[in-house]
Structure 1
Amino acid sequence: MFVRALTLRDFRSWDTLALELTPGCTVFVGPNGHGKTNIVEAVGYLSTLSSHRVSSDAPLIRAGTEQAVASATVVNAGRELTVEVELNDGKANRARINRSPCRRTREILGVLRTVTFSPEDLALVRGEPGERRRFLDELATSLRPATAGIRADYDKVVRQRSALLKSAAGALRRGSRSDEGASALATLDVWDAHLAQHGAHLLAERLSAVHRLAPHVSEAYRSIAPQSRPAYIRYRSTLAGVVPDEFLDPAREPEGGDVDLLIDAFHVELSRMRSREIERGTSLVGPHRDDLELHLGDGPAKGFASHGESWSYALSLRLGSFALMRTDGSDPVLVLDDVFAELDRTRRAALATVAADAEQVLITAAVADDIPAELRATRFAVEARDTDRGRVSTLTGPIVDGSDL
């Protein structure tokens, strides 16, 4: 899989960009803040419908405009598809595949698959559980695009259920002693059923992704840091103690009846936690409270791994994802956003080895010398200038085969 053409309009610092790309390695070189990362951010957005840098779409729309457009023509096994997303300020985004409108933007998921490694990935090891949940959900969606719909349905249920717990707190505490309390409890029963249904499906998708990812992460970490303690991942669920311990073991092969078992487990745990949820006014059970545990040896990586070990683990999560996605028969596009300068020689070499073998690699760097010599590349120079329309990025090149800029 590779991106043959990328077009941007009013995306971040780019008023317009029309870029032809080829398989192999492409490097965008330029000073920090001049717009090189915005190019690969757009590619990542067309793959996942999210940015690896910000949590909302608003910053992606160039200041002073109301709409940004990103479009990519993707070649996969000889077949071309063009995906396009319009990001609208204050209105719903719209998407197209080969110029045909999509009913939902998430219908484009799966056309372009990417794995992005960036400095922000250190938060996967050192950050909060939400960072790791997002990583796992994006991977699960790349493996099976229908996961996006499952995740959207589950998020909606959690919002509605938590709103009920908060707005009807008094009535819920009074319970069946009043008509209002009985009505609120009946409504909560309905939302419990929805949460169990959607939560079980999302949890099953995550557990399947962890099962497939775990050996690749362990192998990647072993190749990057052979002298370090072994690394392994494990899923931590709010259903621990309700489902058998081995159910959450990544070595366990997921089974067809898992969803039904998980639905039953959700009902048991929701019943047990009901009084506590009513008291606190929020949903305490479900995948939105889970975590992907990262272990080194006998202990957790978070809080105990050294700086080098943390970088190795973050890199292993991405390289493991890349190796897993390749098993489906098509390389994802590998995006390396300004990371070579952050890595020591061993980690640079490990990353360069994978990149040299990938079908397409998109790299950003502030300094051309940060790119390992073994990565022969087509290079573009990126710079920004101030205009009456604000700061605008421009592109020059290409320069082929690693010639000096």
Structure 2
Amino acid sequence: MPDSVRLTRLTLADFRNYASVSMSIGARLVALTGDNGAGKTNLLEAVSLLTPGRGLRRAAFAEIVRKVAAGIVSDSDHAARPAPSGWSVSVLLEGPGGETRIGTGYAPETGGRRVRIDGADARTADELSDYLRVLWLVPAMDGLFTGPAGERRRFLDRLVLAVDPGHGRRVADFDKAMRQRNRLLEDGGEAAWLDAVEAQIASLGTAMAFARRETVSLLSGLIEEHASDDAFPRAALALEGPFEDLAAATPAADLEDAFADLLKRMRPRDRAAGRTLEGPHRTDLAVTHLAKAMPAGLASTGEQKALLIGLVLAHAELTGRVCGLTPVLLLDEVAAHLDPGRRAALFARLDLLGGQVFMTGTDTTLFQALPADAQRFAVSEGTVRAID
């Protein structure tokens, strides 16, 4: 069983619509209710920023700073101060090593984002993964199966990142090397320079592909374990695209060389196109509704939502198994479009996962089926209040 990790306090300053707020959290299942625009999703976003990356909204850090219309903040003692230029998020968490304080924030005057762990500056945000894994499901993902391949690829890489923290750096380095190759092709760069950058792309791209393939394989196996759960339909997962065809036809030990050779042969075509046309950056995640043997994108809206929830729940379980730490799961408006039976099934499955879950909704009745020990908060403009 994975070790339990849960947040016991969440503190924000100058974050979105919150000047300052501190929440004491005493449960694994937490429901946040309030009107649209009250700031429920902002609280989830704050928690999502305690992982590498830009969080569930993928917002630029400067956009998160609390906006003050007049440019001046009036404090309760009537003193005036300039509008905030940065924000901060910190949590106390209980984990296998005891209590840890982790935080992150943005301050343009000190060079952008900072991460601190127990009061000490972290070298990179990647260190957060040693203490906390955060997963999420938000309404923007509802069109995942019908939207562009790039969205599914980004979703896939988040799945991989949760179980393999090094994947984020590989993807970033791969993208950087791809941009270098594209510039060299455009500028008529020397063959020796292209050989070098293509060797780097082939190495990183092959590692990315293997990590994706491993995660999809593990996730597929775990989904099969829940074959008897009919509340959320099972999904079949596959990786598709020309690069995946190359990988399937090539021994694993030879894939890196085969990819490098393909890049070399594709130079004239890529130069004409102004971009690299083939590689793992074009891979798509294909999802099939198993019971109906149809692509997920052709299923009904309700079936797509249920498929996505089932996939996220399976991934949360996989993350706990692989990493040895229960993840924190953020579910934004997840219950609003579920019938009462499926809603109750969701809450029961979340309870069994053993990790901490934060859920949002506009109506307290959505969470009536939560266990008695769940915690509820009322969210209004810039404030959070525990509900007895």
Superposition TM-score, scaled by structure 1 size: 0.82
Q: CA deviation at 1:222?
A: 6.3
Q: Confirm or deny: 8 A CA contact 1:6 1:73 kept in the other structure.
A: yes
> Residue deviations 1:308-341, cap 9 Å, x none?
2211221122011112123244321222211111
Residue aligned with 1:379, SS: strand
> Residue deviations 1:315-373, cap 9 Å, x none?
12201111212324432122221111122234313311122233322111111011142
Structure-2 residue corresponding to 1:87: 106
Structure-2 residue corresponding to 1:399: 387
Q: Confirm or deny: 8 A CA contact 2:216 2:238 kept in the other structure.
A: yes
Is 1:370 matched with 2:366? yes
Structure-1 residue corresponding to 2:87: 68
CA distance in 2, matches of 1:266, 1:88: 42
Residue identity (%): 32
Change (3 A) 1:244 1:361: closer
Q: Confirm or deny: 8 A CA contact 1:115 1:335 kept in the other structure.
A: yes
Is 1:313 matched with 2:307? yes
Is 1:194 matched with 2:200? yes
Give the counterpart letter for 2:91 in structure 1: A
CA distance in 2, matches of 1:48, 1:23: 25
Change (3 A) 1:359 1:76: same
Structure-2 residue corresponding to 1:273: 266
Q: 1:21 aligns with which of 21, 25, 36?
A: 25
Give the counterpart letter for 1:381 in structure 2: A
Change (3 A) 1:347 1:162: farther
> Residue deviations 1:80-114, cap 9 Å, x none?
22221122458431111111112222222242112
Q: CA deviation at 1:24?
A: 2.2
Structure-1 residue corresponding to 2:45: 41
Give the counterpart letter for 1:313 in structure 2: L
CA distance in 2, matches of 1:220, 1:60: 39
CA distance in 2, matches of 1:342, 1:219: 26
Q: Confirm or deny: 8 A CA contact 1:139 1:209 kept in the other structure.
A: yes
Deviates more, 1:233-242 or 1:279-288: 233-242
Structure-2 residue corresponding to 1:352: 347
Structure-1 residue corresponding to 2:125: 105
Q: What is the Cα-based RMSD across aligned positions, in Å?
A: 2.4
Unaligned runs of 5+ residues in structure 1 are: 172-182, 248-256, 385-392, 401-405
Residue aligned with 1:193, SS: helix
Is 1:203 matched with 2:209? yes
Q: CA deviation at 1:61?
A: 2.1
Structure-1 residue corresponding to 2:329: 334
Q: Confirm or deny: 8 A CA contact 2:102 2:115 kept in the other structure.
A: yes
Give the counterpart letter for 1:188 in structure 2: L
CA distance in 1, matches of 2:376, 2:50: 22
Structure-2 residue corresponding to 1:165: 185
> Residue deviations 1:382-402, cap 9 Å, x none?
111xxxxxxxx1122x224xx
Change (3 A) 1:235 1:44: same
Structure-1 residue corresponding to 2:139: 119
Change (3 A) 1:349 1:268: farther
Give the counterpart letter for 2:215 in structure 1: A
